[in-house]
A and B are shown apart, each in its own frame.
Chain A
Amino acid sequence: MATTYPALEPSVAVPVEQPQVVRAEHLSKRFGDVVAVDDLTFSLEHGTVTGFLGPNGAGKTTTLRMLLHLVEPTSGRALVFGGRYQDLARPAARVGAVLEVADFHPGRSGRDHLYSLALALGRRDPGGDHWFLGRERSAAERVDAVLDLVELGSAGRRRVGSYSLGMRQRLGLAGALLGDPELLILDEPANGLDPEGVRWLRDFLRAFAAEGKTVFVSSHVLAEVAQTVDQVVIINKGRLVTFSPLAELTGRLTGDVRVRAPEAARLQHALDREGIHSELLNGDELRVQGASTARVGEIAYHADLLVHALVPESSSLEDVFLELTAEGPS
């Protein structure tokens, strides 16, 4: 009996539900009496570039290491691609990580460092290759490719002990890229780099993200990553402070006006009547929010109040960051 099948739908690009690339669920880590990470929850979508910010000692490094199964969580879960790192098949082919500036043996050449990692990583497609020569050849190809990618090329044959800080940084990155990962995890990658190195790194991360890949980069200085990331996870004392698009942080930039007036309290009243919020700093000083210097001067004039000084005050992104991390739970 002939069965009729419904005509196949033309294949359309159905968006596949991507599991979150990085996910922390009530993640906590305690070292003895010290709580390094405290009930941290956030998740990162595929293709995002996220800054992981917080002052030194906030728990960033511990969190990143829990994601990579280097540190075991006390409670909660640290997931990449929907599972525990150690449960992924060939995890380094999906996640690349640079955790310290100098995780190298100084007496080993950069190339040999990468070579040993590439061998351990194994081949994507073993095919019918020779068990030994096939492995060696595929490792050598990957090593040469990543050395070129980070523009280290010929320096690869030198011992790492002779490398500059910037070169070590690139070598670390080359190691992270060996498996051609979809997610890069970088811990304070710009630490100690000269401005040129910082710019190189920024360009590199932008290019990486432009391919639709995911980046999770920690820093204790917002300015280092502000030009690279599109969202930020800010933590302090192990707890989440904020998780927001960078634009939202920018929105918090205030254009306050500082006013010195002998009768500051009366000026505050006058401003209140106009619906303008202000804050009395001391007997003769006010910080006015959401109004221009011209508007404040006009209101003072109409209220017959003397003004000694009228100064626009703008905060930087760094101020917002410092303010956020300062008001964290104590």
Chain B
Amino acid sequence: MIDQLLSELRKMRSTRTNLGLLAGMIGLTLLTVLVNGFVLSANELQTHDNQHTLLSAGTNGALFAALIGVMAITSEYRHGTIRPTFVVTPDRRRVIAAKVVASLLMGVAFGIVAIALSFGVGYAILAGRGIDFALATNHVLLLLLGTLFMTALWAALGVGLGSVVKNQVFAVIGVIIWAFVIDNLLRELVPDAGRFTPVAASDSMTAGFADYLLAPVAGGLLLLGYVVTFVAAGALVVARRDVT
């Protein structure tokens, strides 16, 4: 298993795919934190909720983390490297497991960068504009840990999703449409069920005990449940699907 894991990490490091995703994440996180930090007035930024939003820019990392996982499997099908991969390791579940662990690690790395950016720039903006810091330590800690969990778990979720879908374009578009459209619609239209979507579960890990969401630990467990379900489904599908 260590052999497969090192192999997967090597694959991730040897194309520009993840560098591109990292650049995208840095760009979007910076944009979000800068917009929130300078569009809001100094008065507005004194509230707890707005400061929380400002520092939450790093949760953007989850989307890019999901794409790490999606690309890890779909790019092998797209470029045909899945054939040599499975010829070397015919136990396909082991390949998927290695991709999940490698993506988790990569997701954590992305999470660290995202947090460093959102916290670093967020604090700098508050300090620079002379605004007092209003967040309780436990909320800050929750945001930090929650963001890391999110990026790690979404990366793993991406592997599961990509394994089921296989087609790279469909999988990437699927993730984006889910995160920006379907999930939001569900939460708006059917709030009772909307609390349980993957994105809502993620938000409940970071959102500072908001009433409309699950408790942080419950949200984390629910997201973990999604990950386990998708990865198991993906492993099953990949193991049974002929590689033609």
Contact = CB atoms under 8 A, between A and B. Distances in A.
Interface of A: 62, 65, 68-72, 85-86, 91-92, 95, 97, 99-100, 102-109, 112-113, 115-117, 119-122, 131-132, 135-136, 175, 178-179
Contact of B244 (A65, A85, A112): A65
B80 A107 contact: no
A100 B88 CA distance: 15
Main SS class of interface, B: helix
Given A71-B243, A92-B88, A103-B84, A116 B2 contact: no
Contacts of B6: 119-120, 132, 135-136
A131 B6 CA distance: 11
Interface in B74-119: 75, 79-81, 83-91
Interface in B54-90: 75, 79-81, 83-90
A102 B81 CA distance: 9
B84 A72 contact: no
Given A97-B87, A103-B84, A117-B84, A108 B2 contact: no
Contacts of A92: 87-88
Given A102-B80, A105-B81, A120-B7, A91 B243 contact: no
B86 to A, nearest CB: 6
Contact of A70 (B4, B7, B240, B242): B242
A65 B90 CA distance: 12
Interface of B: 2-4, 6-8, 10-11, 14-17, 75, 79-81, 83-91, 240, 242-244
A157 to B, nearest CB: 11
Contacts of A112: 10-11, 14
Nearest to B10: A116
A70 B85 contact: no
Contacts of A178: 88
A135 B5 CA distance: 12
A104 B14 CA distance: 12
Contact of B7 (A97, A104, A116, A175): A116
B242 A103 contact: no
Contacts of B85: 117, 120
A65 B243 contact: yes
Contact of B81 (A68, A70, A103): A103
B112 to A, nearest CB: 21
B36 to A, nearest CB: 35
Contacts of A179: 88
A120 B88 contact: yes
Which of B15, B83, B85, B91 has the largest count of A CB atoms less than 10 A from its CB? B83
Given A86-B91, A120-B88, A105 B15 contact: yes
A117 B83 contact: no
A109 B83 contact: no
Contacts of A136: 6
Contacts of B17: 107
Nearest to A85: B90
B14 A109 contact: yes
B111 to A, nearest CB: 23
21 contacts: A70-B87, A70-B244, A71-B243, A86-B90, A92-B87, A95-B87, A97-B87, A102-B80, A103-B79, A103-B80, A105-B81, A109-B14, A116-B10, A117-B88, A119-B10, A120-B3, A120-B7, A120-B85, A121-B88, A122-B3, A178-B88
A276 B244 CA distance: 51
Nearest to A72: B242
A33 to B, nearest CB: 16
A121 B11 CA distance: 14
A60 B76 CA distance: 23
B78 to A, nearest CB: 9
Contact of B3 (A62, A97, A109, A121): A121
Contacts of A109: 14
A136 B175 CA distance: 34
Given A115-B10, A120-B7, A132-B6, A107 B15 contact: yes
Contacts of A122: 3
Which of B8, B75, B243 has the largest count of A CB atoms less than 10 A from its CB? B243
Which of B6, B15, B80, B89 has the largest count of A CB atoms less than 10 A from its CB? B6
A71 B7 contact: no
A68 B14 contact: no
Contact of B84 (A65, A69, A107, A175): A175
A109 B16 CA distance: 11
